[in-house]
Amino acid sequence: MWTFESLFQNRSERNEALRVALTVTICMVLGKLLNLDSPVYLALYPTIIMTKNKDYSWLGLLRTLLPTLLAASAALVVTEVFSQHPFVVWTISLFFFDFMRRRATTPLKKGQMLMPTFNWILIVVFAQHTTMDMPMRIHEILLSMLITMVVAKTMVTLFPVERGGKPPAFEEEPATFENRAISLALIGLGVAFLMIIDIISATFCLVPVIAAATQTTHKSFIDVVDRRFQTQVGGCALAVVFTLLMAGHQSTFGYYTIVLGLLAFMITASMAKAKGPAKIFMLMLCLQPCCRFSFI
């Protein structure tokens, strides 16, 4: 006889699937209920926190999100001061990207580079092409972070994380001039394109670009590009399915919650059972549609 427990091999997998799915669903529903101008943050932050973070203490959550808040605040200052000079904004952005790349000397630090860099890009692109109140955007970012922390902490309490061994220690690998030049070329040209062409939804395509830009070998670069291309296509396909299911029911919160929760659980259940590269694939597959769902 089929049971819910039979979906998973052990309690740890079940807890992980429920923990991630419920956190993402609750945060996204709150973003819709609060009628935020930028609900995407309540899709982005919980997805990253629940799939990449290892320390769920209040201090650990704060330590994870604080660099992102600082990066977004700095980007806001730059875009406000040089609002009439997009080339200056782009040039300063290059210095920021280079600063982040120089700090990314281990796989862990490379992963930590994603959120601050992407949030900087979001601020720059939205300031360039929308009439949003950008200072108010920082308030929404801060609110989204607080909501994410509270919901994440609650879900971790209800569905505890199994304690693992010590994470492997990696040697520092200083970024060479070539590494930095490749990162600047990939990320800088992507941002330049988005600042010139008004395609705001394409901003999320820079997530795989940032990941690829931190690779130091040809093989790892090709692997990341291939994996991220698949997750982009798969994520967009899931977003299309979700959009079709929501057609005519966008304002029905109950229906939105059920459909979103089922799709989130479907992805996270597969992610919880996956291992190695397959787990990373499912992680990114979860991130892509969630960010797009937030605009519905």
CA 121 to each of CA 22, 141, 258, 278: distance values in angstroms, whole numbers, following the listed order = 28, 14, 32, 28
Looking at residue 77, what is its pLDDT? 92
User: pLDDT per residue over 17-46, tens digit each?
Assistant: 888 889 988 998 898 888 887 788 888 898
Higher pLDDT, 186 or 268: 186
| pLDDT average, residue stretch 203-226 | 81
Query: Percent of the chain having pLDDT more than 70?
Result: 83
Cα dihedral 96, 98, 100, 102 sign: negative
pTM: 0.84
Looking at residue 294, what is its pLDDT? 55
Transcribe 201-269 into DSSP letters: GGGGGHHHHHHHHT--SHHHHHHHHHHHHHHHHHHHHHHHHHHHHHTT-TT-HHHHHHHHHHHHHHHHH
Listed residue (210, 170, 169, 168) closest to 189, CA to CA: 210
Which sequence spans correspond to the domains of the chain?
10-159+175-293
User: pLDDT per residue over 40-55, tens digit each?
Assistant: 888 889 888 888 888 8
Q: How far apart are CA 223 and CA 126, in angstroms?
A: 31
Q: How far apart are CA 264 and CA 243, in angstroms?
A: 14
Q: What Rg, from alpha-carbon coordinates, does the chain have?
A: 19
